[in-house]
Amino acid sequence: MKIKEILISENYGDSVVVKGWVRTKRTSKNVAFIALNDGSTIHNVQVVVDLNDISEETIQDVTTGASVAIEGVMIESPGSGQHVEINARKIEVLGKADPEKYPLQPKKHSLEFLREKAHLRFRTNTFGAITRVRHAMIFAIHQFFNDKGFYNIHTPIITGSDAEGAGEMFRVTTLDLDNLPRKEDGTINYEEDFFGKETNLTVSGQLEAELAALAMGEVYTFGPTFRAENSNTSRHLAEFWMIEPEMAFYDIHDDMDLAEEMLKYLIRYALKHCLDDLNFLSKRLQEEEKNKKQEDRAPMELIEKLNFVLENKFERITYTQAIEILMNSKPNKKKKFQFPVDKWGIDMQSEHERYLVEKHFQKPVIVTDYPKEIKAFYMKVNEDGKTVRAMDVLFPQIGEIIGGSQREEKYDVLLKRMHEMSVPEKELWWYLETRKFGTVPHAGFGLGFERLMLFVTGMGNIRDVIPFPRTPQNAEF
Ligand code: 4AD
Ligand code: MG
């Protein structure tokens, strides 16, 4: 029986078998208490062992980290903290964990230490909670779109194109790097490569999702994406998961409405289905906050923060308005920003995004209509010819959580944009064809799944909300 089920059961007297990993063992004269966890819940079940019934040899091997199968009887717990516990009749140690060597002894470990023990960190309360919340969010995303009649599309992971045009791609090749085939002019002959051309890991499934949307109406992809940007921050991964809905007949306003509805749905889902884990994460965070200076502390605890986002409509402003606010802001005038805001046209940095959200509006903000120079080629050009119909959703502590836009559906304008931005037209002939045959206004966005996880769990570093993070100089496990 799963511990989660045992803990809500009142079938006192029933026999059960539980299997899991020992968190702690306390021994007194004639009894031992084992706290057992099996991953099904943040809570442990208490197993009471009468030392007259179980051999000394066995109980000696029941140490933190060991795996056990325990047969026993559910009884009403006389102790506080739980209403049911298990009286052990038989204990089988499935796998010992040498106390001299097992790294996760029951004491506080730093997140940095646990990153080096990513193969074992699932066994901590924190990573158990994060793993369950992560699962719930994946499930909720599919639920959300399924309920709305969207189709899930698997877009390719190996591609020949650069969807974002940013050139931050990982090469995929089977060529012998020590002995590359060359053409007469000395350049590498990719015709001899596996696919007969240059290929890479995808940075986004959007372009292929657009193809599907232009027949199926409303679709979404949810897959791994890869970026070889060398940004070693607490918000960037080289391999992350992205949710990308793409909708025919949507304009940018419909796009923003969907983004806001989706984020609120996911947060509400977490509050409803993961409250035990969120309460644990909130307490953990509050402990951490105590070590910070007053002015660096988060203004709200986790659950309060999540509810706050649910209760408030996201502020919607244009890039031009955002720049005006930033230029006139105190930190800008006092030269507190690392990147000063001095003119229209600059790319907003995370510090600027967070100022707008955390200080100025004090709620999530959607910024629209960015200068076309700082956005991707596929975004629809506005009538002013200077800005594009982009929309970025900015969240407290995170900055950009969603990036999206209405797409350029006009063939001529799109082709011109591709030329302007040096996007190879030849490689994207299929993308261009959708604008030749039955093109329609359409829009979509990308939600960074780990950024969502950061927000929902309140964790501070993106390396801690994905089981096995990939970052520059790090691909262990
Ligand atoms: O803004 P981005 O680059 O947009 C796209 O890729 C579009 N094709 C999406 C679309 O319109 N279908 O990325 C979208 C989101 C960002 O807002 C951010 O949340 C996340 O993906 N993201 C990252 N998350 C973790 N690590 C990285 N290196 C990320 N880069 C982007
Ligand atoms: Mg973006």
Residue 305: its pLDDT value, please? 95
Residue 292: both structure tokens together: 């910070």
Looking at the predicted structure, is the pLDDT value of residue 179 above 80?
yes
**pLDDT for position 182:** 97
User: 448: CA distance to ligand 2 center in Å?
Assistant: 10
pLDDT in tens, 296-328: 788 889 999 999 999 999 999 999 999 999 999
What total of structural domains would you count in the chain?
2
Q: What is the arithmetic mean of pLDDT over 231-255?
A: 97
Spatial neighbors of 288 by CB under 8 A, at least 6 apart, are none
List, chain by chain if needed, residues with CB within 6 Å of any ligand 1 atom.
163-164, 204, 206, 227, 236-237, 240, 242, 244, 400-405, 444-446, 448, 450-451
148 and 212 part of one domain: yes
411 and 370 inside one domain: yes
Q: Kindly state the percentage of the chain with pLDDT values over 90.
A: 93
Residue pair 222/242 in contact by the 8 Å Cβ criterion: yes
Q: Tens of pLDDT along 109-150?
A: 999 999 999 999 999 999 999 999 999 999 999 999 999 999
The verdict on residue 81 lying in a domain is yes
Is residue 46 very low, low, confident or very high in pLDDT (cuts 50, 70, 90)?
Answer: very high
Report the C-alpha gap between 33 and 47 in whole angstroms. Answer: 6
The model's pLDDT over 361-373, given as tens digits with 9 standing for 90+, comes to 999 999 999 999 9
Rounded to the nearest angstrom, the distance between the alpha carbon of 20 and the centre of ligand 2 is: 42
Q: Domain containing 41 — which CATH number? A: 2.40.50.140
Mean pLDDT of the chain: 96
Measured from the Cα of 229, ligand 1's closest atom is: 28
81 and 141 inside one domain: no
235, 336: one domain: yes
Residue 98 shares a structural domain with residue 231: no
- 389 pLDDT above the threshold of 90: yes
What separation in Å is there between the alpha carbon of 349 and the centre of ligand 1?
A: 14
Q: Residues 371, 230: one domain?
A: yes
Binned at pLDDT 50, 70 and 90, residue 45 comes out as very high
pLDDT at 26 over 90: yes
pLDDT for 375: 96
Q: Are residues 151 and 71 in the same domain?
A: no
Residue 211 lies in a domain: yes
In a domain, 95, yes or no: yes
- From the CA of 405, which ligand is nearest? 1
pLDDT, tens digit, for every residue of 253-298?
999 999 999 999 999 999 999 999 999 999 999 999 888 888 778 8
Whether 45 is covered by a domain: the verdict is yes
State yes or no: pLDDT of 164 exceeds 90.
no
Is the confidence at residue 79, as pLDDT, over 90?
no
Q: Is residue 99 part of a domain?
A: yes
Residue 231: the pLDDT is 86
Residue 470 lies in a domain: no
Length of the chain: 477
Q: Are residues 66 and 137 in the same domain?
A: no
Query: In this structure, are 158 and 61 located in the same domain?
Result: no
Pairing of strands 239-248, 218-226: antiparallel
Instruction: Return the HEC string of the chain.
Output: CCHHHHHHCCCCCCEEEEEEEEEEEEECCCEEEEEEECCCCCCCEEEEEECCCCCHHHHHHCCCCCEEEEEEEEEECCCCCCCEEEEEEEEEEEECCCCCCCCCCCCCCCHHHHHHCCCCHHHCHHHHHHHHHHHHHHHHHHHHHHHHCCEECCCCCEECCCCCCCCCCCEECCCCCCCCCECCCCCECHHHCCCCCCEEECCCCHHHHHHHHHHHCEEEEEEEEECCCCCCCCCCCCEEEEEEEEEECCCHHHHHHHHHHHHHHHHHHHHHHCHHHHHHHHHHHHHHHHCCCHHHCCCCCHHHHHHHHHHCCCEEEEHHHHHHHHHCCHHHHCCCCCCCCCCCCCCCCHHHHHHHHHHHHCCCEEEEEEEHHHCCCCECECCCCCEEEEEEEEECCCEEEEEEEEECCCHHHHHHHHHHCCCCCCCCHHHHHCCCCCCCCEEEEEEEHHHHHHHHHCCCCHHHCCCCCCECCECCC
Residues with CB under 5 A from ligand 2 (ion): 403
pLDDT at 331: 96
Residue 115 lies in a domain: no
Atom of ligand 1 nearest to the CA of 398: 19
Q: Which domain holds residue 308?
A: 123-168+203-464
pLDDT tier, 104 (very low <50, low <70, confident <90, very high otherwise): very high
Residue 20 lies in a domain: yes
Examine the domain organization and report whether 308 and 453 are in the same domain: yes
Tell me the pLDDT tens digit for each residue of 187-211: 999 999 999 999 999 999 999 999 9
pLDDT, tens only, 434-465: 999 999 999 999 999 999 999 999 999 999 99
The CATH number given to whatever domain includes residue 429 is 3.30.930.10
- 73 with 163, same domain? no
Whether residues 69 and 158 share a domain: the answer is no
